[in-house]
Amino acid sequence: MRDFSQNHEWLSINTATLRKQWRLDRIVDACAQRGIRAIAPWRDQVAAVGLQPLAQRLRDHGIVLSGYCRGGFFPAADAAGLRAALDDNRRAIDEACTLGAPCLVLVVGSLPGALDGKPLHRDIARARAEVRDGIAATLEVARRANLPLAIEPLHPMQAAERACINTLEQALDLCDELDPARSGALGVAVDLYHVWWDPKLAQQIARAGRARLLAFHVCDWLTPTRDLLNDRGMMGDGVIEIHKARGWVEDAGYAGFSEVEIFSEHWWSRPGDEVLDTCIARHRSVV
């Protein structure tokens, strides 16, 4: 297992962690100042600074991506909505390629309208089928672009609004169905916040293996959790055995970045410099 205690060579910052303090260009500069080698930006943050200016800024600093957030949200109420989702995923693939991302992270979606508090139906099996078909269609585009797709299972508390894929096992079953050759074109993003509780976690990480493990996201699970979305903890402040889980992904062959992804009203209220410095310190002492 790699030793993270001496440096932060393998730290990546998911830029949602600082979305309320700074624009993306400032986040990139602040990461570069600290020798952070990788980020994972979100599409809205990229749009705010412009795709090409960001690509140039990353090249200037020598910063790479650990992933691009995000594609997905495949289910829709009707055929036009399904087509629009595929078009949007195509654009996300183009952007990811421009930025040299190693993968596009998929938050797959679930009941259409649920995110706005108005679910248009309650048929989660239909949503799952639309997710399967949407990933299959997007995978063809992604293969041509040579961009792997990383399915991120979300905690079941998000099953109605954001993702009807909720365990690593479910994500890997879909990978096996759509990419039986384990070609590297389709895999998973293991976000410990979403999967830490899963009794099959170690087993499914081993099953995923190097070919399917495309990204590794860390933060912590606070007790009690006060908000379903925006109360993630800093590594070391909660109950996730992060170091142990990193051992599992490394035993399975993963050798990429550890991406810190913290949606938190608390950390968004702190100065950006303090947040980044804390991420670096905890990456060394906890991850």
Give the residues lining the site for Zn ion (CB under 5 A): 191, 217, 261
Phi, psi of 40 (to 5 degrees): -130, 100
The residue among 82 and 240 lying less far from Zn ion, judged by its C-beta, is 240
Q: Which two tokens stand for residue 57?
A: 């800024």
CB 54 within 8 A of CB 25: yes
- Please, what is the minimum distance in Å from the beta carbon of residue 251 to Zn ion? 21
What's the rounded Cα separation, in Å, for the pair 211 and 275? 33
> How is the beta sheet containing 258-260 ordered, strand by strand?
64-65, 38-40, 11-14, 258-260, 213-218, 186-191, 149-151, 104-107, 68-72
**Widest CA span of the chain, in angstroms?**
53
What burial class does residue 188 get, using C-beta atoms within 10 Å of its C-beta: 0-12 exposed, 13-18 middle, 19+ buried? buried
Q: How far is the CB of 189 from Zn ion (least distance, A)?
A: 6
Shortest distance (Å) from residue 60 CB to Zn ion = 27
Least distance from Zn ion to the Cβ atom of residue 215, Å: 8
The two three-digit tokens of residue 161, written as one number: 């609004």
Among residues 111 and 260, whose Cβ is nearest to Zn ion? 260
Nearer to Zn ion, 17 or 278 (CB): 17
Please check whether residue 99 is in contact with residue 69, taking contact to mean a CB–CB distance below 8 angstroms. no
Residues with Cβ < 8 Å from 8, sequence gap 6 or more? 34, 35, 36, 280, 283, 284
Smallest separation (angstroms) from Zn ion to the CB of 107: 8
For Zn ion, which is the closer residue by CB, 129 or 197? 197
Q: Which is nearer to Zn ion, 82 or 283 (CB)?
A: 283
SS3 content of the chain, % helix, strand, coil (to 5): 45, 15, 40
- Name the closest residue to Zn ion (Cβ): 191
- Between 130 and 261, whose beta carbon lies closer to Zn ion? 261
Distance of closest approach, residue 42 Cβ to Zn ion, in angstroms: 11
The smaller minimum CB distance to Zn ion, of residues 24 and 219, is found at 219
Judge whether 186 and 159 are in contact, CB under 8 Å.
no
> Taking the complex as a whole, how short is the minimal distance between the CB of residue 200 and Zn ion, in angstroms?
19
